[in-house]
Amino acid sequence: MAEKIVIGLDAMGGDFAPAEPVLGGYMAAKENPEIELVLIGREEEIKEHLPSELPNLRIHHASQVISMEDPPALSIRRKKDSSISVGADLLKKGEISAFVSAGNTGAVVSAATLKVRLLPGIERPGLAVVFPTMKGTPVVIIDVGANIDTKPTHLLQYGLMATVYCRLMWEGVENPRVGILNIGEEESKGTSTYKEAASLLKGSGLNFVGNVEGKDIFKGLADIVVMDGFVGNVVLKVSEGAADAVITMLKREIYEASWWTKLGAMLFLLPAYKRLKKKIDYSEYGGALLLGINGVCIICHGRSNARAIRNAIMVAVKEIKRKVNEKILEELKSLNPTKEE
Amino acid sequence: MAEKIVIGLDAMGGDFAPAEPVLGGYMAAKENPEIELVLIGREEEIKEHLPSELPNLRIHHASQVISMEDPPALSIRRKKDSSISVGADLLKKGEISAFVSAGNTGAVVSAATLKVRLLPGIERPGLAVVFPTMKGTPVVIIDVGANIDTKPTHLLQYGLMATVYCRLMWEGVENPRVGILNIGEEESKGTSTYKEAASLLKGSGLNFVGNVEGKDIFKGLADIVVMDGFVGNVVLKVSEGAADAVITMLKREIYEASWWTKLGAMLFLLPAYKRLKKKIDYSEYGGALLLGINGVCIICHGRSNARAIRNAIMVAVKEIKRKVNEKILEELKSLNPTKEE
């Protein structure tokens, strides 16, 4: 019998923990006998929410919880028996092949970066998020905040890691187009870090398509857009904020209109809006991917429900099966032969 | 008789030039006998679009045009007789008190910065844009790209200039709340530039409310959010892009739905959407303000129609009447006494 794929799940992370993560983990284990699921967290609380026992599901007790408000780096040092710290420890020791959490993003990034080592040759981890575009295709945005002290080589490596990811994980994308965020289309634009990174990407052998402006990210002109973690975090949050603002203001316009407009909107707009919301909810895409660490790590949105958690687990399984990290190491050699010899 | 307020208008700037700017200038001059309007651009083309002569409107011929695609700094050096270059020259010589353009933003910023001097004590200009928020109040975002080599003192000065602007130009805002963009609410977040700027703002006497995350810009938690020009430009364009994407995807959801949903959406959603679009169109707010230069300069959206141009001219008139620049200089002295003595 083939060895099982062991996935660690943070049972205590997210706004609806432990109920939703536990249920999501249960769903994934029940549907996929090839995986072994490890629920990490407070045993008693997990048991309360577990529908039944499964042969391929077990609990690894961790007594502490890092909340969404806890300061990330500090809480990792202080709460050594938290589900996030323990999950990172298990990933480091190889007892699990992937760690999935809907908890405090900063804490998961810190734990993974500090405890699990980086892939040899990778200088910084990058947190990647998949967004839908107007074209209907998805776009990977990397880095959305794993590293804010960004050098041109980090941006180059983000491009490479995301290229390998898209090639192996998406169907029909052989040679993903890599763009770099900038404030104009011309090469002369932007800060020295961005200009230097663009020149590195140009000579990298990746399918580099040049500068991508903020307004073009969602147009599907590139499959991957690299940027530094400060800007990327702002892009992630401004997108959410602007989308929310448009919807809220649209609702208000409808609310302030006549009663028959209100009725019409309820009947006709609401179903369309609900379908859209599902499409742009990034937890549907399996959460954010922490690329560059020596293991698979997926961070789900704090509002994730059981289905989103289950989806993220399945992405992690696919990432392991398709050997994304092994392939990143291989590609890195052909990118930087001088560094690797 | 009181001296007239002389406003220079770029007749050749924007996607609908010269027709819309000329008409917008004409409207402003006709409605306001207290102003003298100078249409800058190709005399023959301007005359073609001018409805009639007015005693307080004249043409200042400029033979060249900088297009939206021209490289900003280069085109200012090469096209010395362009409407933008000539407008900046007139502003520098004091022949006009304000310059309004819907042309190439980068070119207007370059011309104003290179030709018109900065206000004494101001280290860098800042381009400010006014956005609507979910709360219904506006928010000023500064800088959206006038300066990408940003130091902490520049961010402090942006906060001061925008504070003076809001206090003098908006009704009922005595003590505007100044926030600084960051990737978390905690003080420890962000790059060294942002951390240092936050500490300068804290001790400045301005109404500093701390870090504002990207998702909170549109919530109305601050009246002003300062940020560096690279990030600000990205914020501006990502907001536009995300808002467009949501609307486009919502339209597609409706389009793919049943015929009666389509009919309902046309009847009920379209009017609400049109009103919303008007509200979030920043040209309605009078365009972007280039703060920090020794003169009043307003840059309208390239898609501005006559009414948007007229609105921008009225904002410029108000800025002159309320002596925004004089007050900025005054406030600067109490902010930086050591530098000014």
Strands across the sheet containing B126-132: B57-61, B35-41, B5-10, B98-101, B296-299, B288-291, B126-132, B138-142, B224-226, B178-181, B208-212
Residue numbers of B between 74 and 113 with CB closer than 8 Å to A: 106
For residue A254, the chain B residues in CB contact (below 8 A) are: 268-269, 272
pLDDT of residue B172: 87
Cβ contact (<8 Å) for A241 and B247?
no
Q: Examine the pLDDT at A322 and tell me if it is beyond 80.
A: yes
> pLDDT > 70: what percent of chain B?
90
Task: Give the residue among B277, B281, B283 at the shortest CA–CA distance from B307.
Answer: B283
Q: Is A246 on the interface with B (CB under 8 A)?
A: yes
Best of A143, A269, A301 to disrupt the B interface (most B CBs within 10 Å) is A269
What's the average model confidence in pLDDT over B271-275? Answer: 68
Q: Examine the pLDDT at A339 and tell me if it is beyond 80.
A: no
Residue numbers of A between 269 and 308 with CB closer than 8 Å to B: 269, 271-273, 275-276, 279-280
Task: Give the residue among B4, B9, B36, B27 at the shortest CA–CA distance from B297.
Answer: B9
What are residue B126's DSSP bridge partners? B291
Q: Examine the pLDDT at B339 and tell me if it is beyond 80.
A: no
Three-state SS string over B102-159 comes to CCCHHHHHHHHHHHCCECCCCCCCEEEEEEECCCCCEEEEECCCCCCCCCHHHHHHHH
pLDDT of residue A272: 67
d(CA B147, CA B195): 19
d(CA B2, CA A300): 65
**Lowest-pLDDT choice from A303-317, B123-137, B236-250, B279-293:** B279-293
> pLDDT > 70: what percent of chain A?
90
What's the average model confidence in pLDDT over A92-104? Answer: 96
CA angle A234, A236, A237 (to 5 degrees): 65
Length of chain A: 341
Cβ contact (<8 Å) for A276 and B184?
no
pLDDT band at A248 (very low <50, low <70, confident <90, very high): confident
Residue numbers of A between 143 and 162 with CB closer than 8 Å to B: 145, 148-149
d(CA A291, CA B10): 49
The ipTM value here is 0.84
Cβ contact (<8 Å) for A134 and B245?
yes
pLDDT of residue B240: 84
Cβ contact (<8 Å) for A246 and B246?
yes
pLDDT of residue B340: 36
Q: Examine the pLDDT at B256 and tell me if it is beyond 80.
A: no
Cβ contact (<8 Å) for A272 and B264?
no
Cβ contact (<8 Å) for A233 and B183?
yes
Cβ contact (<8 Å) for A275 and B253?
yes
Torsion of CA A267, A273, A279, A283, to 10 degrees: -110
d(CA B152, CA B201): 9
Q: Examine the pLDDT at A341 and tell me if it is beyond 70.
A: no
- Alpha helices (H) in chain A, listed in sequence order: 19-31, 43-49, 72-78, 83-93, 105-115, 152-169, 192-202, 229-255, 259-264, 270-280, 306-321, 324-335, 337-340
CB B230 within 8 A of CB A195: no
Give pTM, 2 decimals.
Answer: 0.88
d(CA A64, CA A114): 19
DSSP string, B241-295: HHHHHHHHHHHHHHHTS-HHHHHHIIIIIHHHHHHHHHHH-GGGGT-EEEETBSS
